[in-house]
Amino acid sequence: MKKIILTSVAVAGVLLMTAPAHAVDSTGCGLGSVIFKGQKGPLMQILAVTTNGTFGNQTFGITSGTMGCDPNGTVTGGTGKLVFAFLENNMDQYAFDASRGSGETIDALAGIMGVSSEQVAQVSKEHFNELFPDENVQVLAVATNLMNLLNVAA
Amino acid sequence: MRGKRVLFILNGALFLFFLIPSVQATFVAHSPEWLALGHYRPSLFGVKSTIDSENFFLASDGKTNPDAELNATLQLFQSNDTETQCRFPARYQFLKQKKLIQTPFPDCSKYEQFKKDLNPIGITLLYTDAYMNNPASLFGHTLMRIDIPEGRTQLVAHGVNYGAFVDPNENGILFAVLGLTGGYMGGFTVKPYYDIINTYNNIENRDIWEFHLNLTSRELDFFVAHLWELGHTQTRYFFFTENCSYMLMEFLDAVRPTLKLADTFPAQTIPLDTLKAVYQTDLIDRVQYRPSRQRRIAERYRHLTSNEKKELLNYLETLQLSPQFTPTQQAAILETAYEFIQYQWTEGKTDLKTYRRQTFKTLQNRTKLNTPSTPPAIQMPSPLTAHHSARITLAQGFERGNSFQEIQIRPAYHALTDRPNGLLNGSEINFLNTNLRYYDALKQLSLQQLQLVEITSLSPWNALFHPFSYTIKTGINRNWNPKTNTYGYTYDLSGGTGLTIELTPKLYAFFLGETGMHYGGFLPHNLGINIGAKTGIVGYFNTYQLLIEAERLFSDNWYLNQTNIRFNFTYNLAQNLGLSATYILKDIHPHSNNTFTVGLNYFF
């Protein structure tokens, strides 16, 4: 529920920011989609500090972090879902780490997939242009390609 | 006869058989462990639990009666209500260990899945620092992380946050009022650590400090079990008292009752103070620092040569790199650019199309370089090195030749001239700063000032970051009237805004436009407004702080048409002890008033 709210906020934000010519479906799950912004301005920040607000419902459990970027359920399997959920939330940082061949997201992905960081780093850097062919690349494609390149079963 | 005796003995044994467990239960019900587990705190009549959810209590008077609650819990575990049993794994563990329960814990698939997903190996206390340009956030925030075994990164571990549940569309002012007065319910949420990093490090630009706790494996189990119990409950959220940090204190007490952390915070709970209290208990065994995105950018920028800086600014305009730079230099420029473009995006200063074009181009440029990434290592003094929240100052001074003694009490939190370690340079937030003065010659004690709130933020403006500096103060001040040579009080509200420039990393210069409203029978016509400007420098050196400022205010009210000069030098004797000298010149042409004070500051 919480994620749905955040996603709606994010999507609404994206909608407001993009020109009308842009298709809705190509904006939500690419670079820059994790934008749920901080409270703006000193006043809003002071107000936010007083409450340490958590937006969302009150059913206890782990909030999964899924943003709904795989509506057709293409990604299956435990590892695949974990890789996908991670990239949904960290795609911009992973793109950065892939381009330079090191970084924490590479270590995290290696941990999830059960391969070495060096391997993920090397493959990500070498195949950067396949993983990120253009600026509107979607997270689903990145996750699938990465797992294929590393021969990791979903 | 003999038979009767046997019966009697049997009776006695039977009696003891029933009595001993109940004595034992009564004893356990008042043990620190059980009281901490039920979050019972001393109240006017006995004890009362902090937790407000009714479903946390099995007995009808469980909130105030730990005996009844214990008996109800024992009954629960003799019943076949496994669903309810599954909600209390920590109580079960404790009572089993006390041998009050013999039955096995039921199969609880949801709870087992929860534990499996968390995959706990340790607990880390997280402390988030202030927003870079907002002294109100200097109080910090604390949360927890449940660490996972994978050695190299905790990104996919889980964070545990206690906060108020708020409607995302809540009106701003209402949000604050309800937050202060207990209008919201608070509760625990568990989410991936990368989510927490995104929120604090990358969106709010606050540093995260990670303090690993030396819990035993049994305590770790108990932590997760108790989190499951508390996760299903809610409690009224009060910003000053029952806030994020306070609940974590009670939580840690439940895990290790000998800590007695909650006892330390009977009134207000400041997150930084709770961190220090935890440190005092020797619970912290290692510290790690995770700088915010803004700090990472600032440090990367600081490490660039002036040519590289120019090239970076040029790159942000053109997305073109000049080939005159070595691959290592290019990598440094591109990486700084990438993080800065991300910063611009989260600050809402760019649109998605531009953002994607800029980031994609920058990554393409970066991936062509086969140079390893070498961001500068960032070291900051830990928040544990910060001075305590309350300050008392004893001072000796002279005002126009009259000597006086002064006592100054400030309950919270940090002044511009206080030692900034673990806090933020150029920031100030004071509440109820109160100053009493005794003049030797007059033999008279008087209230010199009662400042309700003072907030100042001097945040440097540079090529990348453009924060405004500001100041706002309000309170009662005692003033001297040169025409009548008498003293009187005014209620003052003043504020200003402007710019700060970093002359060196330790020395800031600032320029503020100011305006003030002043009210008091002492003033001509009771009321006056003035407007003017202030400029000065503030320096933060290893052992001392320096502040020099000059202010010129104009008004049609002769009294408020004044020039003020202030000089302050504070020498740090220890983390919580400082020596300060202050000189203040107030000039109301053609009269002037000089005050000189030397004092000892103690933080507690």
Cβ contact (<8 Å) for A35 and B190?
Answer: no
Lowest mean pLDDT among A44-58, A86-100, B159-173, B472-486: A44-58
CA dist., res. A90 & res. A106, Å (int): 11
B66-102 pLDDT, tens digit per residue, is 999 999 999 999 999 999 999 999 999 999 999 999 9
Given this model, what pLDDT does residue A19 score? 29
Q: Are B184 and B102 in contact (CB under 8 A)?
A: no
Q: Are B538 and B426 in contact (CB under 8 A)?
A: yes
Given this model, what pLDDT does residue A152 score? 85
Given this model, what pLDDT does residue A16 score? 31
CA dist., res. A42 & res. A24, Å (int): 32
Given this model, what pLDDT does residue A1 score? 39
Q: Which among B137, B203, B356 has the least Cβ separation from residue A49?
A: B137
Given this model, what pLDDT does residue A45 score? 61
DSSP string covering B176-196, please?
HHHHHHT-EEEEEEEEEHHHH
Residues 69-108 of A with CB under 8 A from B: 82, 85-86, 89-90, 92, 95-96, 98-105, 107-108
Q: Which among A57, A89, A135 has the least Cβ separation from residue B356?
A: A135
What is the 8-class DSSP label of residue B199? Answer: I
Beta bridge partners of B189: B161
CA dist., res. B253 & res. B294, Å (int): 35
Strands A53-55 and B158-166: parallel
Q: Are A112 and A146 in contact (CB under 8 A)?
A: no
Q: Where are the beta strands (DSSP E) in B129-177?
A: 141-147, 158-166
Query: The dihedral of CA B183, B186, B191, B195: what is its sign?
Result: positive
Q: Which among A47, A50, A54 has the least Cβ separation from residue B165?
A: A54
A-B CB pairs within 8 A amount to 209
Q: Which among A42, A58, A101 has the least Cβ separation from residue B133?
A: A42
What are the tokens at B502? Answer: 């970093």
H-run or E-run covering A112: helix A104-113
What angle do helix axes B306-318 and B327-346 make, rounded to 10 degrees? 50
Cβ contact (<8 Å) for A102 and B185?
Answer: no
Closest-CA distance, B375 to chain A, in angstroms, reads 11
Assess whether pLDDT exceeds 50 at residue A10.
Answer: no
**Structural domains in chain B?**
23-106 (no CATH), 117-290 (no CATH), 306-368 (no CATH), 386-603 (2.40.160.40)
B352 or B395, higher pLDDT: B395
Cβ contact (<8 Å) for B198 and A136?
Answer: no
Q: Which long-range contacts (CB under 8 A, 24 or more apart) does B463-466 make?
A: B463/B301, B463/B309, B463/B313, B464/B297, B464/B298, B464/B301, B464/B340, B465/B132, B465/B294, B465/B298
B19 or B177, higher pLDDT: B177
Peptide bond into B590 cis (omega under 30): yes
To test the contact with chain A by mutation, choose from B119, B128, B156 the residue with the greatest count of A C-beta atoms within 10 A, namely: B156
Closest-CA distance, A72 to chain B, in angstroms, reads 24
What are the tokens at B269? Answer: 């709970």
Length of chain B: 604
Phi, psi of A101 (to 5 degrees): 80, 20
H-run or E-run covering B338: helix B327-346
Residues 441-460 of B with CB under 8 A from A: 457
Given this model, what pLDDT does residue B6 score? 53
Is B142 near chain A, with CB under 8 Å?
A: no
Given this model, what pLDDT does residue B2 score? 52
Assess whether pLDDT exceeds 80 at residue B515.
Answer: yes
Q: What share of chain B is helix, strand, coil (3-state, %, to 5)?
A: 35, 35, 30
Cβ neighbours of A92 in B, within 8 Å: 342, 359
Enumerate residues 6+ apart whose C-beta is below 8 A from B192.
A63, A65, A85, A89, B155, B156, B157, B158, B159
Assess whether pLDDT exceeds 80 at residue A114.
Answer: yes
Q: Which among B180, B184, B203 has the least Cβ separation from residue A36?
A: B203
Assess whether pLDDT exceeds 50 at residue B334.
Answer: yes
DSSP string covering B466-506, please?
-PPEEEEEEEEEEEEETTTTEEEEEEEEEEEEEEEEEEETT
Cut 0.90: pTM above it: no
B7-22 pLDDT, tens digit per residue, is 555 555 555 555 556 7
Assess whether pLDDT exceeds 60 at residue A60.
Answer: yes
Identify which of B146, B118, B123 has the alpha carbon closest to the alpha carbon of residue B215: B123
